[in-house]
Amino acid sequence: LQSHSAPFSPQRILQTLIVLQAFFGYIPPQAQEWLVRKTGTHIADIRSLLSFYSFLVDTPPPAFHLRFANNIIEQHAGLDELHERVQAELCGTDCIIETTSCIGLSDHPLPVLVNGFPVTRLDMNNVHDFCNLIRSKTPLECWPESWFGINNVVRHSGPLTRYQYIPGLGIKNAQGLTREQIIQQVGDAGLRGLGGAGFPTAFKWHWCEQQPEPIKYIVCNADEGEPGTFKDRFYLTKQMDRVIEGMAIAARAVGARKGYIYLRGEYLYLYQAIQQELQHAKQIGILNDLFEIELHLGAGAYICGEESALIESLQGKRGIPTSKPPYPGEKGLFGKPTVVNNVETFASVTYIFQEGSSAFHSMGTEKSKGSRLHSVSGDCEQPGLYELPQGTPLSKLLSLCGAKATQCVQVGGPSGQLLFPDQFDTTLDFEGPGHGGAIMIFDTSRSVMSITQNFSNFFRHESCGFCTPCRAGTVALTHLLERYTKLPENRQQTSKDLLELTELMNKSSHCGLGKTAGQPVASMLRWANDHDR
């Protein structure tokens, strides 16, 4: 708390709660009352945040808190058996064992966060030793190194992951340009958002730059929460300097003096390293009095990856998506014009300003320019990170990562599409399905139905509950899917009901989560109809 020097205000409630939790291990009632007095808010506001953000707790913590990822990749890697064994061995100990959708480590199955730190070497052979460490209350810092370690090796590199970065050169090049020229250069490169939406970056920047407001903000969305996605982990770990420089270039383009990085709570273990990178950027002049960046933490709400929900969360509120328009470029953070881009997009900006827009533009296809990272997980010999030019056929990526007997591939995470072999010539670009860079591979030993059910359960769990089509629709989807599986004699009618429901959710949900929640089900039904299942 001593080092939490920023002034207390209602906008800072969430970050202050996170600091309080780091200090006490939980948020005691006295701390909640103290925060009410400090910020002038109501206790109900604090309680409402505690109920929304799953990582915030108001009861004393156990010695160990385990969070297993339970997305379909981890389930296929044997999560249920391992989870049951851990529960049985640790029964009665001072330990909480939970599951969560994704912790950004699907290339390291089976990972588990222990008190927020990733253990990546757990399997059925060493589970007893793991449980012994917990039973004996061995502090995490005394655990053998061999339990930890994240491999951020890029298995197939490309220009963006292997160019010789020269710190400060990109911003120096931008400083010689007017705002319009900077935005023009981003437009000439053909850069589009790499977080999933694929919106033209120059358009976003131009819209924000044009606003007459003197105060503007730059926000880096580092809340990649889509199951199967971990590419931003690479940039946050290995290329944070380029991300920061890209934000500084964006600030110069639109006239912003303040930026925020919103880091997902599951990446808490990267927090210190990112703070150090921010310090280093100050020392070498990339950040200065004209542009500073503050690092914020999320607290376990997937929906905060949606840009308007992220803005709400940065303002200290529950992460409920807001209606658009107005778009953030016009009225975003604290009601001011705001550019929100994803981690990989900002890293690409730095590449463009160091190497030139034509270097970026020369890669990819007519409509999808550049090169990008893909997070590859599931049934293949080499899961991990692959940089490929836009427009690369999915079949080429499957061959590069050693996928064999592939039955289907989920492109773009659960909100993307499930593709089957006759669709493997689909290209990975903004014209194809799912732009978030997550590729989950399933071989012929997997059940398409259980994949779909896992995705539907994920959406049901992550729906923020604000609008009825999504809140009720995601629950109805899981029930109908169960009926589809258990009552084959009713399949025709259930299939019709499911398709009607997914269409309704798509048309009437408030944000992208509800609109896309039915996509995996629709893909599965198309496949089932084609194969008469």
Which residues contribute to the site for ligand SF4 (CB under 6 A)? Answer: 303, 321, 463-467, 470-471, 509-511, 513-514
Q: Measured between alpha carbons, how far is 379 from 441 in angstroms, rounded to an integer?
A: 5
Give the nearest distance from C-beta 413 to ligand SF4 in angstroms: 15
User: What is the number of residues in the chain?
Assistant: 533
Give the nearest distance from C-beta 18 to ligand SF4 in angstroms: 22
- List beta partners, residue 99: 68
Q: Measured between alpha carbons, how far is 355 from 162 in angstroms, rounded to an integer?
A: 12
Closer residue to ligand SF4 in complex, CB, 262/466: 466
Task: Output the CA–CA distances (angstroms, integers) from residue 504 to 304, 318, 363, 489, in the order listed.
Answer: 23, 26, 38, 25
Give the nearest distance from C-beta 197 to ligand SF4 in angstroms: 14
Q: Measured between alpha carbons, how far is 533 from 525 in angstroms, rounded to an integer?
A: 9
Strands annotated E in 167-281: 217-222, 258-263
Task: Output the CA–CA distances (angstroms, integers) from residue 252 to 188, 213, 287, in the order listed.
Answer: 18, 15, 11
Cβ count within 10 A of residue 262: 23
Closer residue to ligand SF4 in complex, CB, 11/506: 506
Closer residue to ligand SF4 in complex, CB, 446/460: 460
Give the nearest distance from C-beta 52 to ligand SF4 in angstroms: 11
- Say which DSSP state 369 is in: B
- The answer for residues whose C-beta is within 8 angstroms of residue 430's C-beta and 6 or more apart is 192, 198, 367, 368, 390
Give the nearest distance from C-beta 516 to ligand SF4 in angstroms: 9
Closer residue to ligand SF4 in complex, CB, 296/510: 510
Give the nearest distance from C-beta 202 to ligand SF4 in angstroms: 28
Give the nearest distance from C-beta 468 to ligand SF4 in angstroms: 8
Buried (b) or exposed (e) across 209-220, using 16+ Cβ within 10 A? bebeeeebbbbb
Closer residue to ligand SF4 in complex, CB, 75/509: 509
Minimal CB distance to ligand SF4: which residue?
A: 514
Neighbouring C-alpha atoms within 13 Å toward the C-beta of 44: 0
Closer residue to ligand SF4 in complex, CB, 191/314: 314
Give the nearest distance from C-beta 133 to ligand SF4 in angstroms: 38
Backbone angles phi, psi at 114, to 5 degrees: -110, 115
Backbone angles phi, psi at 387, to 5 degrees: -95, 130
Closer residue to ligand SF4 in complex, CB, 57/475: 475
Closer residue to ligand SF4 in complex, CB, 421/465: 465
Give the nearest distance from C-beta 294 to ligand SF4 in angstroms: 26
Give the nearest distance from C-beta 303 to ligand SF4 in angstroms: 5
- Angle (nearest 5°) at CA 293 between 292 and 296: 155
Q: Measured between alpha carbons, how far is 88 from 91 in angstroms, rounded to an integer?
A: 5
Q: Are 516 and 477 in contact (CB under 8 A)?
A: no
- Say which DSSP state 387 is in: E
Closer residue to ligand SF4 in complex, CB, 285/465: 465
Give the nearest distance from C-beta 462 to ligand SF4 in angstroms: 7
Give the nearest distance from C-beta 455 to ligand SF4 in angstroms: 15
Nearest residue to 383 via CA among 363, 398, 372, 370: 398
| Residues 410, 344, 513, 262, Cα dihedral to 10° | 140
- 388 preceded by cis ω (within 30°)? no
Closer residue to ligand SF4 in complex, CB, 185/457: 457
Residue 18 host element (H or E): helix 13-24
- Tell me the two tokens of residue 44: 């109900």
- The answer for residues whose C-beta is within 8 angstroms of residue 347's C-beta and 6 or more apart is 160, 235, 239, 242, 243, 246
Closer residue to ligand SF4 in complex, CB, 170/469: 469
Closer residue to ligand SF4 in complex, CB, 236/501: 501
Give the nearest distance from C-beta 452 to ligand SF4 in angstroms: 19
| Residues 365, 368, 372, 377, Cα dihedral to 10° | -90
Closer residue to ligand SF4 in complex, CB, 337/514: 514
- Say which DSSP state 373 is in: E
Q: Are 217 and 258 in contact (CB under 8 A)?
A: yes
